[in-house]
Amino acid sequence: MRIERFDDHPCQLGEGPVWDATTGTVRWLDIVRSQVHHRALDGGERRTETVEHAIGSFAPTADGRWVVADASGLAVRRADGVHETLVDHTTLDPAARPGSLRCNDGGVDPAGGFWFGTMAWDMAPGQGALYRVDPDTARPVRILEQVSISNGLGWSPDGTVQYHIDSATGRIDRFEHDPATGAVADRRPFVTIAPELGVPDGCCVDAEGGVWVALWGGGAVHRYDREGRFDRAVELPTPQVTSCAFVGRDLDRLVITTAAVELADPTPDAGATFLLDPGVTGVAVPPARLPADVGHAPAG
């Protein structure tokens, strides 16, 4: 599998790649710099937005809004750039010390529910949680408690299995998932990553049910088949590999984000964004659903 540079910009903490099929655009984050990057897959200049709050994850709706999990809490961003916080961190977790939490990785389930996790800014263990945003009310519902570093989320091709990573555990966990309602049950380990291979970070799922996981500190993305058996490794030229997503009209390319943060002597590859042809296609991610009146400009 040939790896190529998609974008040379050195992100401090590149994360959260999202494919926008409507515009043919790859969008990804630099969490440390509070930036969102946009670039057409077929070329052109990168466009960068600096936003008010550090975004941990985001997803488009079908009508041009974005649901956003950021340092303010859960928010919605209109097409004109207006940002509205829906639920702040104090409301998400009243027991947490003010300013101690931020949002991290997220994803969209087959029913259009947006999922996101929280974590402590200082990475203190057990301070975060995992939430699902109800598509009909925009209300975040807490699914898991005592999460340390909530990261990768993904769903099997038929939507009946959900994957979630708490990086501090070194595991990818799986749940039984109801694709109609978003309900989950029967959490159990799917894959445990040996510490010498790196720390599991972001992930995505292909059309064969394989799970691709970025390994922070491991300089690689690994694929595990639907039974959790190791299948292949993609080596990257920089160690801090953060996330991956299928992109392209046929979802036949894999975009991979990396980070330069915490590297004493970062190389030119650190923080760059990469592309490869993985030999399989991905699972289409639906747009996030929100109530029609949330985050729209008032009439008149």
- Mean of pLDDT values over 282-294: 92
* Each residue's pLDDT tens digit, 30-43: 999 999 999 999 98
How many C-beta neighbours within 10 Å does residue 265 have? 5
In a domain, 160, yes or no: yes
Q: Is the pLDDT of residue 299 over 60?
A: no
Average pLDDT, the chain: 94
Q: Which two tokens stand for residue 273?
A: 């964004």
* Each residue's pLDDT tens digit, 59-71: 999 998 999 999 9
* DSSP SS3 for 291: coil
In a domain, 282, yes or no: no
In a domain, 289, yes or no: no
Q: Which two tokens stand for residue 73?
A: 């809490």
Distance CA(98)–CA(52), nearest Å, equals: 18
The domain that contains 19 carries what CATH number? 2.120.10.30
In a domain, 93, yes or no: yes
* Each residue's pLDDT tens digit, 162-185: 999 999 999 999 999 999 999 999
Domain total in the chain: 1
Top-confidence residue, 113 or 266: 113
- Of 61, 62, 9, 63, the closest CA to residue 36 belongs to 9
240, 255 Cβ separation under 8 angstroms: no
- Mean of pLDDT values over 199-228: 98
In a domain, 84, yes or no: yes
* DSSP SS3 for 182: coil
Q: Is the pLDDT of residue 97 over 90?
A: no
* Each residue's pLDDT tens digit, 259-276: 999 999 889 999 999 999
* DSSP SS3 for 76: strand
CA 55 to chain centre: 11
pLDDT of residue 168: 97
Range of the domain at 231: 3-276
- Mean of pLDDT values over 141-148: 96
Q: Is 201 a catalytic residue?
A: yes
Q: Is the pLDDT of residue 129 over 50?
A: yes
In a domain, 145, yes or no: yes
pLDDT of residue 83: 85
In a domain, 298, yes or no: no
pLDDT of residue 293: 84
In a domain, 295, yes or no: no
Q: What is the DSSP string of 2-62?
A: -EEEEE----SSEEEEEEETTTTEEEEEETTTTEEEEEETT----EEEE-SS-EEEEEEBT
Catalytic residue among 7, 166, 201, 206: 201
Q: How many CA atoms lie within 13 A of 79 on its CB side?
A: 6
Q: Is the pLDDT of residue 296 over 80?
A: no
Distance CA(186)–CA(47), nearest Å, equals: 42
164, 104 Cβ separation under 8 angstroms: no
Q: Which two tokens stand for residue 13?
A: 């903490």
